[in-house]
């Protein structure tokens, strides 16, 4: 069997991030067809852990995120050329090293993710580096995977390269009822509140969303994210915590609790403006939720133009008002999102597509 080295993620065991779920399902669904080596950050496992669920782990003494992601990826690549037939690289942080790796005649598969260099959290020099790294990665890979049709078109137009479209699964989520304990704890009623889970960064339009809901006190919003990890997040928490209808929660890694809060919301708010197919969005679609998404091409393509869209605070406030007045056909939107997810965003579908590329 071919040995596939998975590089650039936090590794195993994963939490609920998109890369984490991809690695979990690739190694679980395809372990009878391929040998996997998953390069894993020292922050995710102790030094004595050598495998997880039958998958070999290689512990790297760098963090998988931030500036350390560059040496993290490079060290992983150097190890992988000695023992892997295929290098599957998630993200472009360490791709400046790919021209050297390419000299070893290894199959290199790159999923560049969304356009990381566009994110507002990066200062200009970092954006320029990430753009350069993206260019080097795409030009030095054997195969490229796009997770969204808009990313596929961008790669074709920008780099004159063709890529394989493979999105994300989201059916690991489980639709559950709202318990009385959870209802009392957060002051919510099934179908009568809004929910959002995301990283707390400017390109996810958290400030627009919080401002709109702060002016609509009759609708509760639960938002789960890493508020304490940045000045932006901390300032938002200080500003909006006093509003009784806004529940600003730190990250929840218990899948059951997260699923319960998501499953029972009336509106699922998706504010992402940068990136491709977002994992949290396809998870919400698999739960059959009524999606209110920021109006950008990525989100429109993911939801097949069947969701509710907003471009600014005024739009979102109007949607909330319609929700409060029972003027939205919630069930129709829920059914559409569930139908699309069933046809496109199942892990069995996604991992089979990856297997085709690994075997190519």
Q: Give the pLDDT confidence of 325-343 residue by residue, as tens digits.
A: 999 999 999 999 999 999 9
Whether pTM > 0.85 for this model: the answer is yes
What is the reported pLDDT for 351? 98
pLDDT attached to residue 116: 64
Secondary structure letter of residue 12 according to DSSP = S
Beta bridge mates, 316: none
- Name the percent of the chain lying above pLDDT 70: 97
SS3 17: coil
What's the pLDDT tens digit per position in 247-293?
999 998 888 999 999 999 999 999 999 888 999 999 999 999 999 99
How far is the C-alpha of 286 from the C-alpha of 60, rounded, in Å?
A: 34
Distance CA 26, CA 14 (A): 12
d(CA 271, CA 284): 13
Residue 341 β-bridge partners: none
Rounded CA separation 198/121 (Å): 15
The pLDDT tens digits of the residues spanning 106-127 come to 999 999 986 665 666 666 777 7
> Among 292, 324, 321, 325, which Cα is nearest to 308's?
292
* Strand positions, DSSP E, 71-228: 86-90, 107-111, 143-146, 164-165, 193-197, 220-224
Give the CA angle between residues 345, 355, 99 to the nearest 5°.
110
Query: Tokens 């500003």, residue?
Result: 239
CA distances from 348 to 35, 239, 344, 355 (A): 18, 43, 10, 11
- Measured in whole angstroms, how far is the alpha carbon of residue 348 from the centre of its chain? 18
Nearest to 22 by CA among 350, 331, 301: 350
pLDDT at 128: 83
Say what the pLDDT of residue 98 is.
95
Closest CA to 26 of 48, 5, 49: 5
* Cβ neighbourhood burial of 88 (10 Å; 0-12, 13-18, 19+): buried
Among 326, 324, 320, 323, CA closest to 214: 320
Q: Is the pLDDT of residue 97 over 80?
A: yes
pLDDT at position 119: 63
How many helices (DSSP H) and strands (DSSP E) are in the chain? 14, 14
- For the residues of 120-151, what is the DSSP string, one character each? TTS-HHHHHHHHHHHHHHHHT-SEEEESSHHH
Residue 65 has pLDDT above 90, yes or no: no
3-state secondary structure of 85: coil
pLDDT at 113: 83
Give the chain's domains with CATH numbers.
3-169+346-359 (3.40.50.2000), 180-344 (3.40.50.2000)
């Amino acid at each position: 069997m071919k040995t596939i080295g998975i590089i650039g993620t936090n590794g195993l065991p994963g939490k609920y991030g998109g890369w984490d779920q991809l690695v979990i399902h690739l190694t679980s669904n395809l372990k009878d067809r391929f040998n996997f080596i998953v390069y894993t950050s020292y922050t995710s496992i102790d030094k004595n852990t050598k495998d997880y669920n039958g998958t070999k782990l290689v512990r790297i003494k760098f963090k998988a995120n931030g500036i350390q992601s560059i040496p993290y990826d490079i060290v992983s690549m150097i190890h992988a050329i000695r023992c892997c037939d295929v290098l599957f690289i998630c993200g472009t942080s360490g791709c400046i090293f790919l021209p050297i790796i390419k000299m070893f005649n290894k199959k290199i598969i790159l999923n560049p993710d969304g356009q990381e260099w566009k994110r507002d959290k990066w200062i200009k020099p970092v954006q320029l580096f990430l753009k350069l790294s993206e260019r080097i990665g795409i030009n030095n890979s054997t195969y490229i995977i796009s997770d969204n049709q808009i990313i596929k078109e961008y790669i074709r137009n920008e780099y004159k390269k063709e890529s394989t479209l493979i999105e994300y699964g989201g059916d690991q989520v489980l639709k559950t009822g709202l318990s009385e304990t959870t209802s009392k704890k957060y002051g919510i009623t099934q179908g009568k509140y809004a929910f959002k889970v995301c990283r707390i960064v400017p390109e996810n339009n958290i400030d627009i969303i919080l401002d709109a809901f702060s002016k609509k006190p009759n609708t509760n919003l639960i938002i789960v994210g890493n508020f304490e990890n940045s000045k932006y997040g901390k300032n938002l928490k200080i500003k909006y915590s006093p509003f009784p209808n806004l529940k600003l929660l730190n990250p929840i890694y218990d899948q059951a609790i997260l699923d319960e809060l998501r499953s029972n919301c009336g509106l699922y708010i998706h504010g992402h403006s940068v990136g491709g197919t977002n994992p949290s969005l396809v998870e919400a679609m698999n739960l059959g939720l009524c999606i209110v998404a920021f109006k950008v091409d990525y989100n429109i393509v993911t939801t097949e133009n069947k969701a509710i869209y907003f471009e600014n605070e005024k739009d979102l406030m109007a949607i909330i008002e319609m929700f409060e007045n029972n003027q939205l056909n919630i069930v129709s939107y829920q059914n559409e999102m569930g139908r699309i997810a069933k046809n496109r965003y199942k892990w069995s579908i996604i991992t089979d597509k990856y297997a085709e590329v690994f075997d190519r």
